[in-house]
Amino acid sequence: MALLEHFRAQKTCTTCPYCGVGCGVTATVKNRGDEQAASVAGDEQHPANAGRLCVKGSALAETLGEHGRLLRPRLRGRECDWDSAMDFMARQFKRTIAEHGPDSVAFYLSGQLLTEDYYVANKLMKGFIGSGNVDTNSRLCMSSAVAAYKRALGADAVPCCYEDLEEAELVVLVGSNAAWTHPILFQRMQAANAKLVVIDPRASATSEMADLHLAITPGSDGALFNGLLRFLSEVNSLDREFIKNHTENFSQTLDTAGEWTPEKTAEYCGLPLDQLMEFFTLFSHSEKTISFYSQGINQSSSGTDKNNAIINCHLATGRIGKPGAGPFSITGQPNAMGGREVGGLANMLAAHMDFTPENIDRVGRFWRSGSMANKPGLKAVDLFRAIENGEIKAVWIMATNPAVSMPDAGRVARALEKCPLVVVSDCVADTDTARCADLLLPATTWGEKNGTVTNSERRISRQRSFLTPPGEARHDWQIICDLATQMGFGEAFAYTHPVDIFREHAALSGFENQTGKPGSRAFDISALENLSRREYDQLQPVQWPVNSANPEGTQRLFADGRFYTASGRAQFVPVQPRSPEQKRSAEYPLWLNSGRLRDQWHTMTRTGRARKLLDHSELPEIQINPRDAKHWHVDDGQLVEVRSPRGTLCGRAALTGAQKAGELFAPIHWSETLAYRARVSALAEPVTDPYSGQPEFKQLSVQLKPLPVHSYASLLCRRESAERIQQWLSEADLVHWYRVPCNDGYRYELALRETPDWRALGEQLLGRNDLHWQQLRLLQGERWLAYGRQVDLLVFTGGDWRTLPDRQVLESSLEQPLPEAPAQLLQNIPPGAQMVCSCMQVSRQQIQEAIERGVDSVESLGEELGCGTNCGSCKPEIAGLLRKLAEQAA
Ligand SMILES: Nc1nc2c(c(=O)[nH]1)N[C@H]1C(S)=C(S)[C@@H](COP(=O)(O)OP(=O)(O)OC[C@H]3O[C@@H](n4cnc5c(=O)[nH]c(N)nc54)[C@H](O)[C@@H]3O)O[C@H]1N2
Ligand SMILES: Nc1nc2c(c(=O)[nH]1)N[C@H]1C(S)=C(S)[C@@H](COP(=O)(O)OP(=O)(O)OC[C@H]3O[C@@H](n4cnc5c(=O)[nH]c(N)nc54)[C@H](O)[C@@H]3O)O[C@H]1N2
Ligand code: SF4
Ligand SMILES: [Mo]
């Protein structure tokens, strides 16, 4: 038979669709009839990762497959064909614009689109519809970094490259949990010799590996870097030549920092003075310093200033544009940079040009458009406000899930419900935002898409397709060009392949852009404007600018000390530190911080499909300092409610000294689709930075209380029943629930107020009463099984969730044939284990036992158990366990 089967194994080099490290991936597809199966590995030739992948990248193959995908357009809940969908959309957009003007429509895009998708969306709105209303989830992510680079350097131009992290003597990670969020870069840093300083209010996997951890008061970073600037001046660590020849505005900036003596800074930042001095001294002595910063800095109502406070210290020491030195804003999404390049932010026009009359004219001539937008559009928070108050009447949301990720998310969802036309294109059928859509459009996704992305070091890489799109899914750029054509702009959108778009984008970057001359633009990839399709397909990763002066790309910017400001000099920006706008009060006495977990990506629409990625953490846990827990009568593992004036979050309490008293931490990943009251962002006030419009996400004022639970239940069912169960969950009076996808079905974890009649409920949930039932009553709970020819439903209940059985064993009963004595399934299941190493499936328990046996290093644990030997993402946690147990033993 094997001879008759047609096997074809093909290897494609592409780029990981998750974080901004931008690792190269090789995907191998086996086509066997209609079925496609892929395997992935790190691309050894890619300069970002040289063959390594983190745990999310390694699990990419497991996230593929048709199940859960949006396969056909849906208009108001009903499937329809593409012609009717596009016809409807074009008519609605045209009518809205005719009646209310171009500013009554908007696009809300994403740093997860490819550059080619992004380019045409931006061109359609800003060039042809004639409105600036294109904004992107990068507003929530990178916009303060962009605003600060522009203020200081005259352009949104990241000076550094990844090799700088290896050449540095000191890397200062500010508001970054890179061990989990940029794992491969973090591994590169660790393999090199730099000292690591971590500035973060809480202890994290990153601080675990640091030489020095400054657990500062939330939001106090601006003062810290002002204090540093003053100190550098006091100890004569300034580069006076550089300041004199290449910068402006130094003395005023130093004056403003003048009040920040070490004593005052230490007090404001909540740090011991000797720790602060250790950091200051280290910084002043380390010529090769990289500041590596992310959301702990950006997601702040004064994020732009904080970014500038960091950049000031680099300019003052001349540590920019040199190997191993620079202010390195690290991007989150795989193509946040590409979005910035095309002008995806509402205040940018295109190709790094903003809305000056000269630029509007220039881009208008290039696009041959007479209907250019003539002013910036609305930034994300304002854009959703305009949807709420009816100014915007039609919005198209692409590749982002704002009903989960925007501040005051509940209100955003309600605004979308009210909006006359909401179009959502997504690869996945059921998301919180998709539930608000009038029209749902099925998009292709990673593996199917073809185009380019730019990573954190300005490196443009190809994402190449290796799978056939399922159902009727279409590429985002095609859908956008279709709409443009139907709206009458076909001529300007007659692309037949992503390379056509890329060439135009490259040509625009070089259009009237005179390299090196005053007024020229940093973003210039004009050397790529004539790529043939073959050359595009073979394009090797390259760092912009790529132009006639730098045909092979550019590793590092500003080596010549010339900047993109009018004077050619970098600008110091005086910074007056401000504390968070969301204050702690008697009623809301705690600060809620939020961020990422190691194994999940954002709202889990993709990583949530890989079962093993849920082993590390399968539910929203709220981290609480034991002192706070005691004060608010919360026990470890208990369900709690966190409330702000805007909304409520539920989760399981995890008591930990990693959090300081007065501060909580919750993961951002869960949504209403996956759990009950699980959106952190629903609690956030929509307050933003005045320059960038980026929301303050990291300090939300909240209160905490425990939730009484009568009993817990694990409920396992097949996929067919999922819809009925979701319906029941939306109406049932439960304390909490969350859902875990498993092979062939779902597991629901329920926290109950009372014991239901499981058999009656089960029959309702399965929609049938012809099944066999088995029941087992135990001291701590009951167990139920419903089966026909296979297991259809399993329910295990208990007074404490810790006594519920091992979930993996439970799940396996869906995959296995029914045993001869089905009642067996209700017995002999041990309680569950928490996985630390997802790749090699090594649990916390196993590691602890090995440590207790005397295995005493991360390496020897790896040799014995295998943990940490594949992607290495769990090494910081293993080190943490070693340290914790050593402390307990001492
Ligand atoms: N595993 C995983 N990796 C990801 C993502 C993911 O979803 N999952 N998403 C990607 C994206 S889009 C982004 S933007 C990046 C984000 O990458 P990071 O910014 O590294 O991630 P976060 O967890 O949001 O926050 C980083 C840290 O900021 C700290 N912080 C909070 N308040 C303050 C403060 O006032 N000062 C300082 N100095 N620190 C503070 C938090 O405690 C947290 O540890 O991650 C990318 N990588
Ligand atoms: N409280 C709090 N809130 C936050 C943050 C925080 O730290 N704290 N971080 C913020 C940050 S930095 C970010 S980046 C955002 C992220 O938040 P979002 O962008 O809202 O989250 P994602 O889950 O990445 O949404 C991407 C969507 O696009 C879909 N998709 C994937 N590929 C494609 C494709 O090729 N085409 C189309 N059309 N769709 C596709 C996915 O299925 C998913 O539904 O969250 C922000 N919100
Ligand atoms: S570090 Fe991990 S998530 Fe980020 S690009 Fe590399 S493999 Fe993907
Ligand atoms: Mo982000």
The structure tokens 């949104």 sit at 156
- Probe ligand 3: pick from 13, 56, 838, 873, max atoms within 8 Å of CB? 56
Give the tokens for residue 748: 């629901």
**Residue 673: per-residue pLDDT:** 93
H or E element, residue 121: helix 115-122
From residue 557, give the alpha-carbon distance in Å to each of 158, 256, 320. 7, 28, 8
Listing DSSP states for 665-727 in one string gives EEES---TTTBSS--GGGG----B-TTT--B--S-EEEEEEE---SEEEEEEEEGGGHHHHHH
Rounded distance from Cα 459 to ligand 4 centre (Å)? 18
Tell me what percent of the residues of the chain surpass a pLDDT of 70. Answer: 97
**Residue 778: per-residue pLDDT:** 83
Give the tokens for residue 276: 């602060």
Write the secondary structure of 340-376 as one string of H (helix), E (strand) and C (coil).
Answer: HHHCCCCCEEECCEECCHHHHHHHHHHHCCCCCCCCC
**Residue 1: per-residue pLDDT:** 38
**Residue 666: per-residue pLDDT:** 98
Name the closest-CA residue to atom 15, ligand 2: 405
Q: Is residue 36 helix, strand or coil?
A: strand
- Probe ligand 1: pick from 136, 180, 181, max atoms within 8 Å of CB? 181
With a CB cutoff of 8 Å and minimum separation 6, the contacts of 117 are: 398, 399, 451, 475, 476, 477, 480
Lowest pLDDT segment from 20-34, 49-63, 191-205, 257-271? 20-34
Name the closest-CA residue to atom 1, ligand 2: 681
- Probe ligand 3: pick from 13, 54, 186, 294, max atoms within 8 Å of CB? 54
Give the tokens for residue 77: 């809940």
463 lines ligand 2 (CB under 6 A): no
Question: 135: pLDDT confidence band, cut at 50, 70 and 90?
Answer: very high
The structure tokens 């992948």 sit at 53
Q: Which of 585, 590, 584 is nearest to 634 (CA)?
A: 590
With a CB cutoff of 8 Å and minimum separation 6, the contacts of 40 are: 25, 26, 27, 28, 53, 57, 58, 60, 61
Instruction: Average the pLDDT over 206-221 and give the result.
Output: 97
Listing DSSP states for 240-276 in one string gives HHHHHHHEE-HHHHHHHHTT--HHHHHHHHT--HHHH
pLDDT at 250 over 90: yes
**Residue 536: per-residue pLDDT:** 98
**Residue 445: per-residue pLDDT:** 97
From residue 280, give the alpha-carbon distance in Å to each of 167, 232, 274, 303, 440. 20, 8, 10, 21, 53
If you classify domain 2-63 with CATH, what class do you get? alpha beta
pLDDT at 629 over 60: yes
Ligand nearest to the CA of 110: 2
Give the tokens for residue 10: 């093909």
**Residue 6: per-residue pLDDT:** 42
**Residue 430: per-residue pLDDT:** 94
Rounded distance from Cα 226 to ligand 3 centre (Å)? 33
18 lines ligand 3 (CB under 6 A): yes
Taking the C-alpha atoms of residue 668 and residue 670, their distance in angstroms, rounded to an integer, is: 6
Which tens digits make up the pLDDT trace of 276-310? 999 999 999 999 999 999 999 999 999 999 999 99
- Alpha helices by DSSP H, listed for 639-739, are 722-731
Name the closest-CA residue to atom 29, ligand 2: 399
Any idea where the domains of the chain sit in the sequence? 2-63, 74-140+342-497, 143-329, 590-826, 835-889
pLDDT at 871 over 50: yes
Which tens digits make up the pLDDT trace of 700-749? 999 999 999 999 999 999 999 999 999 999 999 999 999 998 888 999 99
H or E element, residue 859: helix 858-865
Question: 881: pLDDT confidence band, cut at 50, 70 and 90?
Answer: confident
Cβ-based burial of 2 (10 A; exposed 0-12, middle 13-18, buried ≥19): exposed
Give the tokens for residue 558: 């500003």
56 lines ligand 3 (CB under 6 A): yes
Contact assessment for residue 758 and residue 714, using Cβ atoms and an 8 Å cutoff: no
pLDDT at 4 over 50: no
The DSSP 8-state label assigned to residue 69 in this structure reads: B
208 lines ligand 1 (CB under 6 A): no
Instruction: Average the pLDDT over 636-659 and give the result.
Output: 96
23 lines ligand 3 (CB under 6 A): yes
CATH level 3 topology of 590-826: Barwin-like endoglucanases (2.40.40)
AA letter at 67: H
CATH level 3 topology of 74-140+342-497: Rossmann fold (3.40.50)
Q: Which of 274, 311, 339 is nearest to 143 (CA)?
A: 339
If you classify domain 143-329 with CATH, what class do you get? alpha beta
Taking the C-alpha atoms of residue 847 and residue 325, their distance in angstroms, rounded to an integer, is: 38
Instruction: Average the pLDDT over 170-198 and give the result.
Output: 96
Q: Work out the mean pLDDT of the chain and round it to a whole number.
A: 94
Name the closest-CA residue to atom 6, ligand 3: 23
Q: Which of 774, 814, 766, 770 is nearest to 790 (CA)?
A: 814
Which tens digits make up the pLDDT trace of 770-825? 999 999 988 778 999 999 999 999 999 988 887 787 888 888 888 888 888 888 88
426 lines ligand 2 (CB under 6 A): yes
CATH architecture of the region 835-889: Orthogonal Bundle (1.10)
Which tens digits make up the pLDDT trace of 356-409? 999 999 999 999 999 999 999 999 999 999 999 999 999 999 999 999 999 999
Question: 889: pLDDT confidence band, cut at 50, 70 and 90?
Answer: confident
Question: 832: pLDDT confidence band, cut at 50, 70 and 90?
Answer: low
pLDDT at 624 over 60: yes
141 lines ligand 1 (CB under 6 A): yes
Could you tell me which residues are beta bridge partners of residue 10? 29
Rounded distance from Cα 53 to ligand 2 centre (Å)? 21
Taking the C-alpha atoms of residue 714 and residue 798, their distance in angstroms, rounded to an integer, is: 9
AA letter at 326: G
The structure tokens 């996929």 sit at 719
With a CB cutoff of 8 Å and minimum separation 6, the contacts of 777 are: none
**Is the bond preceding residue 876 a cis peptide, omega within 30 degrees?**
no
Taking the C-alpha atoms of residue 413 and residue 399, their distance in angstroms, rounded to an integer, is: 16
Question: 831: pLDDT confidence band, cut at 50, 70 and 90?
Answer: low
Question: 2: pLDDT confidence band, cut at 50, 70 and 90?
Answer: very low
Write the secondary structure of 281-337 as one string of H (helix), E (strand) and C (coil).
Answer: HHHHHCCCEEEEECHHHHCCCCHHHHHHHHHHHHHHCCCCCECCEEEEECCCCCCHH
Give the strand pairing for 835-837 and 842-843. Answer: antiparallel
- With b for 16 or more beta-carbon neighbours within 10 A and e for fewer, the 159-174 pattern comes to bbbbbbbbbbbbbbbb
The structure tokens 């596009």 sit at 86
H or E element, residue 850: helix 844-852
**Is the bond preceding residue 805 a cis peptide, omega within 30 degrees?**
no
pLDDT at 493 over 60: yes
Contact assessment for residue 605 and residue 232, using Cβ atoms and an 8 Å cutoff: no
With a CB cutoff of 8 Å and minimum separation 6, the contacts of 1 are: none
pLDDT at 34 over 70: no
Taking the C-alpha atoms of residue 58 and residue 43, their distance in angstroms, rounded to an integer, is: 11
- Probe ligand 2: pick from 112, 114, 440, max atoms within 8 Å of CB? 112
